[in-house]
Chain A
Amino acid sequence: MLEKIKILIEAKLFHQSGAPTSVEIIAGNNIAFDTFSVGKNRIFLCPISEVVSAPFNARRLSQSNTEFIEFNQQINQIIRLLEQWLINNKFISDGDFWNYNISNKIAQITSFRGSSGVLTPGNGIIGLESELIPAKGYDECLFLTFDGLNVPLAKRMIGLIESANGLNGFEAISSDLSEIVDLLISTSNAIRGKKYDRISFLYVDSLIDIEDVPENFINHVIKHVMDSVIGKSRLHSHCLIFGDLDSILAARLESKKLQGLENQRFMPPFELFLSSTNGFSKTSLAELQDKIQHYEIRWGNRWYISEYEDTHIDCEPPMFAFTAPIWDGNWSSSREISGEQIIT
């Protein structure tokens, strides 16, 4: 099954211009985590049973390259120094928890924007305030803004005809912050402009023999997944499941153990493609939705259902394809991570 999907994805990629993309199949324990390159799109196809290990797969791959390890060492050093400074200055009391919490946030940002995102002002960790001083320039202040704190770290003046160059020119506001600010600047300079792989994990399953699913229906769904998901963020995990109405009525989703563990990883928005609406009654559709979603984890009504409009397909029983983002430990599309939090 994975081979067939791989061939179809490669065929689709062949006709598509853009960044070179490789498609690889992996299964349990087979992640070649040292095969890193720069600025390439990579798709990993995995069986759905691997979806439970999605957080491990995603983070292992994203954090195994040489550059990231070096960056990680520098960031850890910055965190350690900041933690100590914040404790000394009574901004925090539980350093261990603060350390864990900010490390988590950094892992989130890294998965979404790469390591350069971590030291970009306005990301929820550091902030920048700029004030125009007439005839002088811009008086800028660099803040630590994590976890409700708003602590000034450094200042700089940018002349009216000058332009800012990353974090260069910032000077610590007190001598005990010098080492931290210097490290921030050097780390920021080291990672600026770096290109990173864009990695997508696609967890695939078919509840029926994949050869029985019309190829143009598979292609339609693959095209949708490729256009809307693949390569859109630095690291993303998605699932793709094919089936027919009989497989639902026969409760094969359940027999395939989707109900227990795998579907706990499914995240909204859930998308359902129907080969035809003929044969899908409201009841059977509701039953299908009910079986795909975990019985307890309900995200609200975040379903998008569409019919594949191709009169050449006359599947009996009608088929469906289900796709959804997978929780891999990263809020890769979260507006919270990109600093655009919303109220609903």
Chain B
Amino acid sequence: MSVKIMLSENRLETINFKSKRPVDDEYIGDLFNQLMWASTSLEYKKISKQLRNTLLDNTNSDFDCQHPEWFDEPIDEVPKVDTTICDFCGYRESCEKSLENLTIEIQGLSFIKNHGYTIQPQDHIGALQNCFRAKNESSETIMIDPFLGFSQLSNKSRTLYLVPYSSVKQRFPDQRSNVILQSAIGYDLKTAQSIWPVDLRILQLLMDNKLIAKLKKAIRGNDIIYQNLTQLDLRCLKKINTQRGWNHGRKSHDYMSALESIFSRLVSVIKSFKEFENIAITPHKPYIDHPFESTGSGWVVIAVRMLELEPQLFDYLCKHNADNALFLDEMFNDRFERMGGLSIELDTDVRRFIPRFPAILLQPLVENSEVKLEQPSCRIIKMHRVPISEPCLLIDSLNFELSELKGWYFA
């Protein structure tokens, strides 16, 4: 069962927090009373106009009235009003600026393989309400939308998801060496890993089957003159090798020379494709544009990410470089572990990658479990310590339907 939370923050209040002003004029009170008891629409409108004109005397003039036509005013002379006037407005019920309180529905969601554990939002109403509470300038407690600035749907009625942290971790595994995720922009469902800005540009090319076919042709062909890697790129490749822990950290002479050889071939191949040139000439910053601590000239990073995002190319490369393949067989040591049935089984035709969703961490009161604030599929923006049995995330799925992704159990 889902939980609904009413926000005291609606669009009108969001636009102007400070515009409420005290109204202690008895005349206004009388008019408002008359408005409530007006028997005809004509009378209702007449009193509305009187009330509005009186309130306009001390207006904060915060924004244009949205419906001057209802008050029979010319639209080129729109009066400036404030939220106090809107509170007493006779047209309030129909005005789009005066939206009703917004409702956030919270639905429980668990990974289907999470040992049968599901989270029921209705068991944690108090904890969930905590996520929305804030104090305004007058120290009054109000219910805000905590995802303002993180979600385009903030301050709109929508559904959020309460998911156990362990479910999120299981559903969206990542390469073990991806630990600095601050600037990762999304998650690749096909290869089960985080993606960075440069990856998005590479993926856009790799998702073109014609280009993949051309790449394969170039890999197996003899038209390309292979060049050795530059010292800069060689150093970069070695650093990536260490960072990724390829070949289980073993760096035998044969392995390292096979690694150098295969990447010099691949870099030579992709250099012959104009499509990759634009990516390579854009300067890349380590940990911001890609997951590595070193960039080199840019070509090696593209080559590595290409193989990591399209593992079939690595297999193809090995197939056509049998001498090197012998030493590179176990290079991507965690590729199959990550993909081990799970992401293949859960692979979706709907989309290849998803954004990193903003999330609020509900952390048990006493426990200080090892929650990672930057997750491959979401970024924790806020934390609340609440009475809850295990860490959970309140996720705003942006405009993306989580139900489109397989592997979830809806509570």
Using a CB–CB cutoff of 8 Å, the interface residues on chain A facing chain B are: 29-35, 52-53, 55-56, 59-60, 62-64, 66, 69-70, 76, 94, 96-97, 99-101, 103-104, 107, 147-148, 257, 260-261, 264-265, 267, 296-300, 327, 329, 331, 334-336, 341-344
Which one of B146, B186, B355, B368 lies within 8 Å of A260 (CB-CB)?
Answer: B368
Asked if B288 and A343 make an inter-chain contact with CB atoms under 8 angstroms apart, the answer reads no
Most buried by A among B185, B351, B379: B185
Asked if A66 and B16 make an inter-chain contact with CB atoms under 8 angstroms apart, the answer reads yes
- Residues of B146-195 contacting chain A, CB below 8 A: 146, 148-150, 152, 179-180, 182-183, 185-186
Q: A62-B149, A341-B283 are in contact. Are A100 and B355 (CB under 8 A)?
A: yes
* A35 to B137 alpha-carbon distance, docked (Å): 7
Chain B: interface residue count, which band? 35 or more
Q: Give the interface SS of chain B, mostly helix, strand, loop or mixed.
A: loop
Asked if A344 and B14 make an inter-chain contact with CB atoms under 8 angstroms apart, the answer reads no
Looking across the interface, which residue of chain B has its beta carbon closest to that of A111? B149
Asked if A336 and B294 make an inter-chain contact with CB atoms under 8 angstroms apart, the answer reads no
Q: A147-B197, A260-B368, A297-B180 are in contact. Are A53 and B382 (CB under 8 A)?
A: yes
Asked if B134 and A336 make an inter-chain contact with CB atoms under 8 angstroms apart, the answer reads no
Asked if B373 and A34 make an inter-chain contact with CB atoms under 8 angstroms apart, the answer reads no
Q: A31-B134, A97-B353, A100-B399 are in contact. Are A69 and B197 (CB under 8 A)?
A: no
Asked if A99 and B399 make an inter-chain contact with CB atoms under 8 angstroms apart, the answer reads yes
Could you give 15 example pairs across A and B, Cβ below 8 Å? A29-B134, A32-B136, A33-B134, A52-B373, A55-B382, A56-B382, A59-B149, A99-B399, A100-B399, A101-B185, A101-B200, A265-B373, A297-B180, A336-B285, A341-B284
* A100 to B288 alpha-carbon distance, docked (Å): 17
* A264 to B282 alpha-carbon distance, docked (Å): 29
* A327 to B282 alpha-carbon distance, docked (Å): 25
Asked if B368 and A342 make an inter-chain contact with CB atoms under 8 angstroms apart, the answer reads no
Q: A56-B381, A343-B295 are in contact. Are A148 and B201 (CB under 8 A)?
A: yes
Chain A residues whose CB sits within 8 angstroms of the CB of B370 once the complex forms: 260
B163 to chain A, nearest CB (A): 18
Asked if A342 and B285 make an inter-chain contact with CB atoms under 8 angstroms apart, the answer reads yes
Asked if A343 and B283 make an inter-chain contact with CB atoms under 8 angstroms apart, the answer reads yes
Q: A56-B381, A101-B200 are in contact. Are A34 and B137 (CB under 8 A)?
A: yes
Asked if A34 and B293 make an inter-chain contact with CB atoms under 8 angstroms apart, the answer reads no
Chain B residues whose CB sits within 8 angstroms of the CB of A329 once the complex forms: 150, 379, 381
Chain B residues whose CB sits within 8 angstroms of the CB of A341 once the complex forms: 282-285, 289
Most buried by A among B204, B285, B294: B285
Q: A100-B399, A264-B372 are in contact. Are A56 and B201 (CB under 8 A)?
A: no
Asked if B152 and A55 make an inter-chain contact with CB atoms under 8 angstroms apart, the answer reads no
Asked if B134 and A343 make an inter-chain contact with CB atoms under 8 angstroms apart, the answer reads no
Looking across the interface, which residue of chain A has its beta carbon closest to that of B297? A343
Chain B residues whose CB sits within 8 angstroms of the CB of A342 once the complex forms: 283, 285
Asked if A148 and B279 make an inter-chain contact with CB atoms under 8 angstroms apart, the answer reads yes
Which one of A32, A100, A260, A344 lies within 8 Å of B135 (CB-CB)?
Answer: A32
B8 to chain A, nearest CB (A): 13
Chain A residues whose CB sits within 8 angstroms of the CB of B361 once the complex forms: 52
A220 to chain B, nearest CB (A): 30
Beyond A329-B381, A335-B285, 6 extra complex contacts between A and B, CB < 8 Å: A52-B373, A53-B383, A64-B17, A148-B279, A261-B371, A341-B283
Using a CB–CB cutoff of 8 Å, the interface residues on chain B facing chain A are: 14-18, 62, 133-137, 144, 146, 148-150, 152, 179-180, 182-183, 185-186, 197, 200-201, 204, 278-279, 282-289, 293-295, 297-298, 351, 353-355, 360-361, 363, 368-374, 379-383, 398-400
Asked if A59 and B150 make an inter-chain contact with CB atoms under 8 angstroms apart, the answer reads yes
* A52 to B374 alpha-carbon distance, docked (Å): 11
Asked if B152 and A34 make an inter-chain contact with CB atoms under 8 angstroms apart, the answer reads no
A246 to chain B, nearest CB (A): 23
Asked if B200 and A147 make an inter-chain contact with CB atoms under 8 angstroms apart, the answer reads yes
Which one of B135, B201, B286 lies within 8 Å of A31 (CB-CB)?
Answer: B135
Asked if B15 and A66 make an inter-chain contact with CB atoms under 8 angstroms apart, the answer reads yes
Asked if A52 and B383 make an inter-chain contact with CB atoms under 8 angstroms apart, the answer reads yes
Chain A residues whose CB sits within 8 angstroms of the CB of B16 once the complex forms: 66
Chain B residues whose CB sits within 8 angstroms of the CB of A30 once the complex forms: 134-135
Asked if A334 and B285 make an inter-chain contact with CB atoms under 8 angstroms apart, the answer reads yes
Asked if A331 and B150 make an inter-chain contact with CB atoms under 8 angstroms apart, the answer reads no
A30 to chain B, nearest CB (A): 5
Q: A59-B148, A344-B295 are in contact. Are A257 and B285 (CB under 8 A)?
A: no
Asked if B383 and A55 make an inter-chain contact with CB atoms under 8 angstroms apart, the answer reads no
* A90 to B373 alpha-carbon distance, docked (Å): 36
Chain A residues whose CB sits within 8 angstroms of the CB of B372 once the complex forms: 264
Chain A residues whose CB sits within 8 angstroms of the CB of B279 once the complex forms: 148
Looking across the interface, which residue of chain B has its beta carbon closest to that of A33? B134
* A183 to B186 alpha-carbon distance, docked (Å): 29
Looking across the interface, which residue of chain A has its beta carbon closest to that of B141? A29
* A340 to B400 alpha-carbon distance, docked (Å): 33
Asked if B135 and A299 make an inter-chain contact with CB atoms under 8 angstroms apart, the answer reads no
Which one of A35, A261, A267, A300 lies within 8 Å of B373 (CB-CB)?
Answer: A261
Which one of B288, B293, B379 lies within 8 Å of A55 (CB-CB)?
Answer: B379
* A267 to B148 alpha-carbon distance, docked (Å): 24
B300 to chain A, nearest CB (A): 12
Chain A residues whose CB sits within 8 angstroms of the CB of B179 once the complex forms: 296-298
Chain B residues whose CB sits within 8 angstroms of the CB of A96 once the complex forms: 398-400
Asked if A344 and B286 make an inter-chain contact with CB atoms under 8 angstroms apart, the answer reads yes
* A282 to B96 alpha-carbon distance, docked (Å): 66
Asked if B148 and A64 make an inter-chain contact with CB atoms under 8 angstroms apart, the answer reads yes
* A70 to B15 alpha-carbon distance, docked (Å): 8
* A69 to B12 alpha-carbon distance, docked (Å): 11
A256 to chain B, nearest CB (A): 10
* A148 to B288 alpha-carbon distance, docked (Å): 16
Asked if B186 and A97 make an inter-chain contact with CB atoms under 8 angstroms apart, the answer reads yes
B102 to chain A, nearest CB (A): 15
Asked if B135 and A107 make an inter-chain contact with CB atoms under 8 angstroms apart, the answer reads no
Chain A residues whose CB sits within 8 angstroms of the CB of B204 once the complex forms: 148
* A303 to B255 alpha-carbon distance, docked (Å): 34
Chain A residues whose CB sits within 8 angstroms of the CB of B295 once the complex forms: 343-344
Looking across the interface, which residue of chain B has its beta carbon closest to that of A298? B179
* Nearest 5 CB-CB pairings of A with B: A34-B17, A59-B149, A56-B382, A341-B283, A63-B149
Q: A264-B373, A264-B374 are in contact. Are A97 and B368 (CB under 8 A)?
A: no
Chain A residues whose CB sits within 8 angstroms of the CB of B399 once the complex forms: 96, 99-100
Chain B residues whose CB sits within 8 angstroms of the CB of A69 once the complex forms: 14-15
